[in-house]
């Protein structure tokens, strides 16, 4: 196994294991900051409208999300959601993302990831993040830095800030340009087969399929390096 010069990580269920998403809890938290709620809508009613719009746009369908390769960031989605229902929130867009996300899907580092990141640091292997996510990039970086304060990620690339979603090759190309490295010098680790594994493979990177916190259907691919925990991968790199 050739050691990489850099390892890039997915965010959700790879670096951070998130609890099951609860949009109603997130919306309820945001509505606490409402200065106007013209129709006296409940969190359940507002979230029902959000779900309706998301279905119309094709967002977040686990079976089809790899087909949606252009991101609709919350900086566009959230103002429409609230203002179209006569609601005004006394928060900035990034603050709404933070309040909503912390209530809807709190997370914690995947088991062993801190030790694995420290191992890469000792080996002089650079690290970064590429995430398909609609939250503001500053909010994503804040969560990662809060939960993994010892990280040395050189950059956190989010689809919310750079248009393209994995598996689109363009977002991997962007990371390579930022890193000033060739594809065969970089590994990409993620939990989602279509977006993370096939996407990075098609971009020329070496994919590693991390299934330790997987919340998606799993079908083995014997052609792909697949690991269930971070220590397993570290031991493999040492051989």
**Helical ranges in the chain per DSSP H:** 23-31, 43-57, 74-83, 93-104, 113-123, 137-147, 159-162, 169-179, 199-202, 230-238
What is the reported pLDDT for 2?
Answer: 86
CA distance 53 to 204: 35
Global confidence as pTM = 0.95
What is the reported pLDDT for 65?
Answer: 75
What is the reported pLDDT for 199?
Answer: 97
Domain extents for the chain?
Answer: 6-18+106-238, 23-104
CA distance 193 to 148: 24
Q: Which helix (H) or strand (E) holds 36?
A: strand 34-37
| 205 touches 188 (CB < 8 A) | yes
Q: Indicate the DSSP class of residue 229.
A: S
What is the reported pLDDT for 217?
Answer: 64
CATH 3.40.605.10 fits 6-18+106-238, yes or no: no
Name the stretches of the chain with pLDDT < 70. 215-217
47 Cβ contact list (under 8 Å, min separation 6): 23, 24, 26, 27
| 226 touches 220 (CB < 8 A) | yes
What is the reported pLDDT for 5?
Answer: 98
What is the reported pLDDT for 33?
Answer: 98
What is the reported pLDDT for 58?
Answer: 87
């Amino acid at each position: 196994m050739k050691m990489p010069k850099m390892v890039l990580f997915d965010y959700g269920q790879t670096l951070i294991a998130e609890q099951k998403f609860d949009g109603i809890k997130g919306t309820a938290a945001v509505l606490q900051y409402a200065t106007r709620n013209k129709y006296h809508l409940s969190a359940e009613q507002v979230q029902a409208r959000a779900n309706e719009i998301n279905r119309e746009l094709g967002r977040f369908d686990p079976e089809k999300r790899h087909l949606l390769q252009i991101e609709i960031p919350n900086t566009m989605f959230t103002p429409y959601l609230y203002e179209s229902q006569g609601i005004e929130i006394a928060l900035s867009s990034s603050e709404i993302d933070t309040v909503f996300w912390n209530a809807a899907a709190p997370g914690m580092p995947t088991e062993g990831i801190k030790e694995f990141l420290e191992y890469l640091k000792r080996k002089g292997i650079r690290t970064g993040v590429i995430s398909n996510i609609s939250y503001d990039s500053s909010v994503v970086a804040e969560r990662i830095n809060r939960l993994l304060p010892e990280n040395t990620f050189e950059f956190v690339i989010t689809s919310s800030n750079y248009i393209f979603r994995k598996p689109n090759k363009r977002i991997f190309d962007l990371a390579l340009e930022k890193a000033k490295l060739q594809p065969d010098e970089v590994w990409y680790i993620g939990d989602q087969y279509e977006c993370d594994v096939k996407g990075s493979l098609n971009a020329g990177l070496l994919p590693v399929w991390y299934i330790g916190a997987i919340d998606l259907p799993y079908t083995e691919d014997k052609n792909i390096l697949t690991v269930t925990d971070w220590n397993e991968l570290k031991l493999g790199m040492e051989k």
